[in-house]
């Protein structure tokens, strides 16, 4: 194999596929990046069997070939020489890759290409269609609520459902719940999947902020998305059912607050300074007719922020993990938010006048 490729293009491709390399020690063969050169195209591929990323770039292919290169080593090396206009990759019969640029070169012992597992073939008969902007946004509005612990693996995924003209995404870690709705560009008879948050996070980084359409293919065990020059595939969570979340969301409230979103967010950030280091990141709310006091305290002091509100219902005092509320507010595109509280201070936060996003947060402590 012999190819000549632009340094920036090659670095971008290597960096992209390296996101699918195993994060923990796994099979040594999967720690490689597969490179296939043919017809002035170079295809790079990496997979840990749960996430796979393939990237295709243009190059001057003087001799076709296929190699498997240690992924982390290649990624680190190419990152340092990415500003080179031309990089020459050559591999002879000794299975050693020689990378040449300017007057410098590097030799890397390749892995046995024939031992690398075949790429999974994914059925593309079932899919939903939305814009890249909406898919990126729906992921960002819920992904922070997924579980990070392994006690309930299924909660480390995002439940995606396409039905008629609506795409829904749901995530929860047992203490907070997030749901977001976005429009579909084509009617769908009903399609759902539990997709690992890591895979959707990597997909989100590849999506643009425009209205270009994207098809998301879903089969029994896999999701696949084709973007220009890039294909991402992910294994789905298939064991067990996602929680029956519709029954979790409160329907009756004793207190409803409407407030300026930016002011609440800034006040929370300010109050949170005092609760840094606290296990629960605790902030307290004291809600009365026209004012919501947000308070945090520690051994070294106390911060109290006052926010003007519109109140319907009872006065209420309650405490929450401030991070849970801030995570919600950061992704909400609105001027005003609505906070609704149950008798036991369970809190539902929405954008005032919109049902696009909904967040449900359990209190840390409730005062009588």
In angstroms, the CA 143 to CA 19 distance is 18
Question: pLDDT tens across 316-352, in order?
Answer: 999 999 999 999 999 899 999 999 999 999 999 999 9
In whole angstroms, give the CA distance from residue 258 to residue 235: 41
120 belongs to a structural domain: no
Q: What is the pLDDT of residue 19?
A: 97
Q: Is 36 found in the same domain as 81? A: yes
Tell whether 242 and 142 lie within a shared domain: yes
The answer to whether residues 49 and 156 belong to one domain is no
Q: Which domain holds residue 348?
A: 255-366
The answer on 298 and 206 residing in a single domain is no
Last residue of a domain, one of 204, 221, 247: 247
Q: Is residue 38 part of a domain?
A: yes
Is 92 within a domain? yes
Looking at the domain assignment, is residue 138 inside a domain?
yes
Task: Mark whether 314 and 234 lie in a shared domain.
Answer: no
Alpha helices in the chain (DSSP H): 7-18, 71-80, 132-140, 197-206, 261-275, 322-330
Measured in Å, how far apart are the chain's first and last C-alpha atoms? 74
pLDDT of amino acid 365: 65
The total number of structural domains in the chain stands at 3
317, burial (CB in 10 Å: exposed 0-12, middle 13-18, buried 19+):
middle
Task: Specify whether 106 is located in the same domain as 194.
Answer: no
Same domain, 239 and 143: yes
In terms of domains, do 104 and 214 share one? no
CATH of the domain at 261: 3.10.150.10
Among candidate residues 247, 282, 301, the one where a domain is terminated: 247
Task: State the DSSP H helix or E strand holding residue 172, giving kind and residue range, or none if neither.
Answer: strand 157-172
pLDDT, one tens digit per residue, over 106-138 is 999 999 999 999 988 888 999 999 999 999 999
Task: Say if residue 71 is in the same domain as residue 23.
Answer: yes
Tell me the per-residue pLDDT of 11-44, one tens digit each, with 9 for 90 and over.
999 999 999 999 887 789 999 999 999 999 999 9
- The verdict on residue 122 lying in a domain is no
Q: Does 193 share its domain with 289?
A: no
- Average confidence score pLDDT of the chain: 94
Are residues 264 and 292 part of one domain? yes
Is position 170 within any domain? yes
269 and 308 in a single domain? The answer is yes
- Strands 213-218 and 127-131 come out as antiparallel
Residue 297 lies in a domain: yes
Instruction: Answer yes or no: is pLDDT of 262 > 80.
Output: yes
Q: Which of 115, 147, 177 is the last residue of a domain?
A: 115
Q: What is the DSSP code string of 291-358?
A: EEEEEEEETTEEEEEEEE-EEEE--EEEEEEHHHHHHHHHT--SSEEEEEE-TT--EEEEETT--SEE
pLDDT at site 323: 93
In-domain check, residue 121: no
């Amino acid at each position: 194999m012999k190819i000549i490729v632009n340094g920036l293009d090659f670095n971008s491709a290597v960096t992209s596929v390296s996101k699918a390399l195993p994060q923990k020690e796994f099979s040594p063969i999967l720690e490689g990046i597969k490179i296939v050169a043919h017809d002035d195209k170079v295809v790079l591929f990496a997979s840990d069997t749960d996430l796979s990323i393939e990237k295709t770039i243009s190059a001057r292919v003087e001799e076709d070939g296929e190699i498997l290169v240690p992924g982390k080593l290649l990624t680190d090396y190419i990152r340092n020489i990415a500003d080179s206009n031309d990089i020459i990759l050559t591999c002879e019969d000794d299975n050693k890759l020689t990378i040449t640029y300017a007057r410098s070169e590097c030799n890397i012992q390749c892995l046995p290409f024939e031992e690398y597992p075949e790429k999974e073939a994914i059925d593309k008969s079932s899919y939903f269609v939305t814009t890249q902007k909406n898919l990126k946004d729906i992921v960002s509005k819920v992904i922070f609520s997924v579980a990070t612990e392994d006690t309930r693996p299924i909660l480390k995924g995002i439940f995606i459902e396409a039905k008629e003209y609506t795409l829904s995404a749901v995530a929860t870690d047992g203490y907070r719940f997030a749901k977001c709705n976005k429009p579909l560009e084509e009617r769908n008879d009903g399609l759902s999947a539990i997709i690992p948050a890591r895979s959707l996070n990597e997909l989100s980084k590849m999506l643009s902020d425009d209205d270009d359409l994207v098809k998301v293919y879903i089969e029994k065990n896999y999701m696949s998305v084709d973007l220009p020059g890039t294909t991402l595939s992910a294994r789905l969570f298939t064991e067990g059912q996602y929680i029956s979340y519709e029954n979790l969301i409160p329907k009756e409230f004793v207190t409803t607050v409407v407030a300026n979103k930016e002011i609440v967010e800034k006040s929370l950030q300010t109050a949170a300074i005092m609760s840094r280091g606290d296990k629960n990141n605790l902030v307290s709310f004291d809600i009365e007719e026209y004012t919501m006091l947000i308070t945090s305290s520690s051994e070294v002091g106390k911060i109290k922020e006052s926010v003007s509100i519109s109140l319907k219902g009872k006065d209420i005092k309650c405490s929450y993990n401030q991070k849970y509320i801030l995570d919600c507010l950061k992704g909400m595109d609105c001027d005003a938010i609505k906070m609704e509280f149950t008798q036991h201070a369970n809190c539902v936060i929405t954008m005032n006048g919109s049902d696009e996003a909904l967040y449900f947060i359990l209190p840390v402590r409730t005062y009588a």
